[in-house]
A and B are shown apart, each in its own frame.
Chain A
Amino acid sequence: MIEVRNVFKHYGNVTALDDVSFTVNEGEIVGFLGPNGAGKSTMMNIVTGYLSSTSGEASVCGIDVLENPDEAKKKIGFLPEQPPLYREMKVSEYLNFVYELKKCTLNRKAHLDEIMAVTKIAGVKDRLIGNLSKGYRQRVGIAQALVGNPPVMIFDEPTVGLDPKQIIEIRNLIRNLGKNHTVVLSTHILPEVQSVCDRILIINEGRLIADEKTENVARAAASDRKYTVKVAGPRRDVLRELRALGGVRFAEDTGDGDADGAVFAVEAERGIDIRKQMFNMLAAKGWPIMELTPRGMSLEEVFVMITDEDERRRNAPERRAGKE
């Protein structure tokens, strides 16, 4: 559905995208993951035809974005990083405007009513967009992308600035859209792609460094076991015993804590579950565990791991060649 080949983008001396190629198949939900400034938005803007690449090709449904922009744009619903909303318009006026702008041919009233129902904005359709809360504006932005029922949806950071309940709603909405649309979304939040996407593209400093199924990334992220544990007991002794425990690679006093106990960071050796031993040991000492939280990997850690693996894979044949 989406094909990007060898795309470069330079802003003056700055290279925003460096030889990016990927494909997105029909019906997939693909997540673009990367820290701020990695080139996620630039990539999406190029696919939607908002920006053009310095070199390389992008096509949507087999239509080249540069050669036949009007046809390609009809296939895409796009939610930019900042939803393109006119504050002085009412929600319904705005959606009608987008309907005309996109030259839709579907039954106008039924189509717009359906979109407003799906995005749950029917209740605010007669209010000015400028008076809506951030969450509602984001939904109107998503509604705008749905107008015309395009086969490809591109969402740039769709859940930014929303409260947790809204985030869950938007994620469910995207998951539902993914049943009969091709969806690409960008985010810098790892759990977000894990919960929504089938496949993850990790982009860093303009380069695509990983293209993996979500399960693989999730497995990789879970393989290193890190916990924060709050223990009611004397700090120094607890730390000493934790360090002495078999399977513990690393333990540290975080310095945090309250009347309940002191907080420690513990990391297990790869492939070993230390929770039982830790519980037994601390219980035996009479230092109860007040809290035990598995600490998921931060995005940076996943990056480091994936880039490391990537480099190891790339260097492996060379090393072998060097030995011979």
Chain B
Amino acid sequence: MTAIYKRELRSYFSTPLGYVFSAVYLAVSGLLFALYTLRSSSSDVSSFASMMIFGFVALLPLLTMRSFSDEKRLRTDALLLTSPVSATGIVLGKYLASLTVFAGNLLLSCAYIIPLGKYAAEHSPISPARTFGCFFAMFLVGACFIAVGTFVSSLTESQVVAAVGTMAILFFFAGIALFNGMIDSYAIRTVLSWISLYSRFTNFTYGMFDFASLVYYLSFAAVFVFLTVRVTERRRWI
């Protein structure tokens, strides 16, 4: 697993992908941060965080689109699958590498808080708990999205199909909350808001540690990682 993790991580930055992703990620997050905090004279990063989730819908598929589809297209999966490494090891190595690149960028974007703290100090000082909650929740949502992206990329040989397919699925999970208001049935609304990745977000932005949501996010990611493992194992049986 570590060999695959290291290779994946290195390959992000020996191809343009890692740099392009980081550049776009930091540009988009910087712009949104400026708009939703500095420009609106607020020290609350929660609206920035919830906007970023929609940014993730567009950005994170770029990070995962290549992970399995390229191996299949170039037949390099033959090396991985005939090596003494389990399918779980292969999938986790790749998943964690994508997660690391994302987490690194997220960590870099934490630096935005420094100028915010400088300007906001007088009137409305930053709440450390709420700010930490927002970034932590962003990390959890990102981890879920990357799991979905890794899964979709294991289904196809085409990077484009992987990216667009992932975006569609992510848009569904992130967008449920938006459409929820239009639905009359209470039962459907409850179910939808329960599976919505977006709705689970709010408690973290209030600085509360929401254990149920944490479990939800982690199991969401685990389910998709597990599905990817199954797809990888199944490849032998086709």
Chain A residues close to B by CB (< 8 Å): 11, 45, 48-52, 69-71, 73-74, 76, 78, 80-82, 84-89, 93, 97-98, 100-103, 144
Within 8 A of A (CB), among B1-26: 2-4, 6-7, 10-11, 14-15
Also in contact, A49 and B15, with CB within 8 A (given A86-B76, A100-B2, A100-B3)? no
In this complex, the member of B11, B15, B82, B84 whose beta carbon has the largest number of chain A beta carbons within 10 angstroms is: B82
In this complex, the member of B11, B75, B79 whose beta carbon has the largest number of chain A beta carbons within 10 angstroms is: B79
Find chain A residues with CB under 8 A from B86 CB: 70
Also in contact, A88 and B15, with CB within 8 A (given A52-B236, A102-B83, A102-B84)? yes
Q: Which of A45, A73, A97 sits near B3, CB closer than 8 Å?
A: A97
Chain B residues close to A by CB (< 8 Å): 2-4, 6-7, 10-11, 14-15, 74-86, 236-238
Find chain B residues with CB under 8 A from A69 CB: 84
Also in contact, A80 and B3, with CB within 8 A (given A74-B84, A102-B83, A103-B84)? no
- A73 to B85 Cα, complex, angstroms: 9
In this complex, the member of B75, B78, B85, B86 whose beta carbon has the largest number of chain A beta carbons within 10 angstroms is: B78
Closest 7 CB pairs of A and B: A100-B3, A84-B79, A80-B78, A84-B76, A70-B84, A82-B75, A101-B3
Find chain B residues with CB under 8 A from A84 CB: 74-80
Find chain B residues with CB under 8 A from A86 CB: 7, 11, 74, 76
Q: From residue B139, how far is it (CB to closest CB) to chain A in Å?
A: 28
- A84 to B84 Cα, complex, angstroms: 16
Q: What residue of chain B has the Cβ atom nearest to residue A75's Cβ?
A: B84
Find chain A residues with CB under 8 A from B74 CB: 82, 84-87
30 contacts between A and B (CB under 8 A): A45-B78, A49-B81, A49-B82, A51-B236, A51-B238, A52-B237, A69-B84, A70-B86, A71-B84, A74-B84, A78-B82, A82-B74, A82-B78, A84-B74, A84-B75, A85-B74, A85-B76, A88-B11, A89-B7, A89-B10, A89-B11, A97-B3, A98-B79, A98-B83, A101-B4, A101-B79, A101-B83, A101-B85, A102-B84, A103-B84
Contact, CB under 8 Å: A76 / B14: no
Q: What residue of chain A has the Cβ atom nearest to residue B14's Cβ?
A: A88
Contact, CB under 8 Å: A11 / B238: yes
Q: From residue A61, how far is it (CB to closest CB) to chain B in Å?
A: 13
Contact, CB under 8 Å: B14 / A50: no
Q: What residue of chain B has the Cβ atom nearest to residue A70's Cβ?
A: B84
Q: From residue B115, how far is it (CB to closest CB) to chain A in Å?
A: 36
Contact, CB under 8 Å: A97 / B7: yes
Q: What residue of chain B has the Cβ atom nearest to residue A77's Cβ?
A: B82
Find chain A residues with CB under 8 A from B10 CB: 89, 93
In this complex, the member of A11, A69, A81, A86 whose beta carbon has the largest number of chain B beta carbons within 10 angstroms is: A86
Find chain A residues with CB under 8 A from B4 CB: 101
Contact, CB under 8 Å: A101 / B80: yes
Q: A50-B78, A84-B76 are in contact. List 20 more A-B contacts (CB 8 A).
A: A50-B81, A50-B82, A52-B236, A69-B84, A70-B84, A70-B86, A74-B84, A76-B82, A80-B75, A84-B75, A86-B74, A88-B11, A89-B14, A98-B79, A100-B3, A100-B6, A101-B3, A101-B83, A101-B85, A144-B79
Q: From residue A218, how far is it (CB to closest CB) to chain B in Å?
A: 32
Q: From residue B20, how far is it (CB to closest CB) to chain A in Å?
A: 14
Find chain B residues with CB under 8 A from A102 CB: 83-84
Q: What residue of chain B has the Cβ atom nearest to residue A94's Cβ?
A: B7
Find chain B residues with CB under 8 A from A70 CB: 84-86
Q: From residue A83, how far is it (CB to closest CB) to chain B in Å?
A: 8
Q: What residue of chain B has the Cβ atom nearest to residue A45's Cβ?
A: B78
Contact, CB under 8 Å: B79 / A73: no
Q: What residue of chain B has the Cβ atom nearest to residue A66's Cβ?
A: B236
Find chain B residues with CB under 8 A from A49 CB: 81-82, 236
Contact, CB under 8 Å: B82 / A48: yes
- A74 to B82 Cα, complex, angstroms: 9
- A95 to B4 Cα, complex, angstroms: 13
